[in-house]
Homo-oligomer: A and B are copies of this chain.
Amino acid sequence: MSEARRLAVLRAIVEDYVSTREPVGSKALVERHRLGVSPATVRNDMAVLEEEGLIAQPHTSAGRVPTDKGYRLFVDRLTEVKPMSSAERRAISRFLEGAHDLDDVITRSVRLLAQLTQQVAIVQYPSLVRSTVRHVELVSLTSTRVLLVLILSTGRVEQRVVELPEELAPESLADLRSRLNLAAVGQRLSDAASALGDLTEQVDAGERTHVALIGATLVEAMSQEASEGRVVVGGTANLARFGDGFDVAIKPLLEALEEHVVLLKLLGESTSPDAVTVRIGHEGPYQELATTSVVATGYGPGQEIVGSLGVVGPTHMDYPGSMAAVRAVARYVSTILDQA
């Protein structure tokens, strides 16, 4: 009863189940994989695997199905992230090369990821919190309303309307703008907010309320971001593929996909780049999504991480393939962010 063979059996079960979506039996196993032993032997191994909680049978006298724990062991110890073929690499870079815009990069990434994995893809916008200010612009809308435009190092552009309690002359607007830029450019958003706090005390009374208001707007933008983030979803149509086969409840998943807060939690916090996180079934934070898994990773210029992206699909998904795709796309996005 070799340990190695038992793991080989587990791997075979996972692979077969993923491709057929049907409980796999001992006989079918030895036929499709060259295990070199008889079905009876495999049955013995299966009994052990079941005892260890790695596989289960839906009903007595049915084939075996991997449990979440089984998938976990599979991805942790039985899987190499398979490198993408050079054709795939080329397709990816061609697909992302044409983007001239952060929005463009994000929307293309999400499409690409969905297409590569045939699953639902999620891409988070670069977090505001981790960006630095590249430029601040004030545009007067009416005499008491100003549009605050923030251009950030990650390419994000945020806008907020600021209502002023009193009129603001065009000259003081220009003055304010240059002061703002002086104080904020190069800073992280949180630092910028406090820098504005300092600024408040330097300017004369007339401008003081304006600076304070703008600072408040910055803080508010950040807190909103922190709670809601900003995410884009794609490949929802792929749900229909396995939604037909009903193994996954699509309703809760569709609901989750509408709630950005939920999605952010699903993606989770990736710490180091190149480390692909896999969360399987019940390991996730939501009970309703106990039959879905998430494969995600962080991206960002250099070693820094400014956002996450990943895919979500049924627990019986193609983990090696998904992990490879997620990693590859994250790398390309990071490269692009690096250049910008």
A117–B77 Cα gap in the complex (Å)?
A: 49
Contact of A236 among B102, B149, B161, B254 (CB under 8 A): B254
Contact of A137 among B103, B149, B241 (CB under 8 A): B149
A241–B340 Cα gap in the complex (Å)?
A: 44
Given A139-B135, A139-B151, A147-B151, the answer on whether A160 and B236 have CB atoms closer than 8 Å is no
Instruction: Return chain B residues, CB-CB under 8 Å to A161.
Output: 100-101, 340
The size bracket of the interface on A is 20 to 34
Q: Which residue of B lies closest to A220 (CB)?
A: B100
Instruction: Return chain B residues, CB-CB under 8 Å to A250.
Output: 240, 243
Q: Which residue of B lies closest to A142 (CB)?
A: B340
CB of A263 within 8 A of chain B? no
CB of A159 within 8 A of chain B? yes
CB of A129 within 8 A of chain B? no
A165–B132 Cα gap in the complex (Å)?
A: 27
Within 8 A of B (CB), among A225-249: 234-237, 239-241, 243-244
A124-151 interface bits toward B, Cβ cutoff 8 Å, 1 = contact, 0 = none: 0000000000110101010000010101
A251–B238 Cα gap in the complex (Å)?
A: 8
CB of A212 within 8 A of chain B? no
Contact call A159/B101, Cβ cutoff below 8 A: yes
Contact call A160/B100, Cβ cutoff below 8 A: yes
Contact call B240/A258, Cβ cutoff below 8 A: no
CB of A255 within 8 A of chain B? yes
Contact call B236/A257, Cβ cutoff below 8 A: yes
For the complex of A and B, the 6 pairs showing the least CB-CB separation, nearest first, are: A240-B251, A237-B254, A237-B255, A135-B139, A157-B159, A137-B137
Q: List 19 additional A-B contacts (Cβ < 8 Å) besides A236-B257, A240-B250.
A: A100-B161, A102-B159, A134-B139, A135-B139, A137-B137, A139-B151, A141-B340, A147-B151, A149-B149, A149-B157, A157-B157, A157-B159, A236-B254, A236-B258, A237-B251, A237-B255, A237-B257, A240-B251, A244-B251
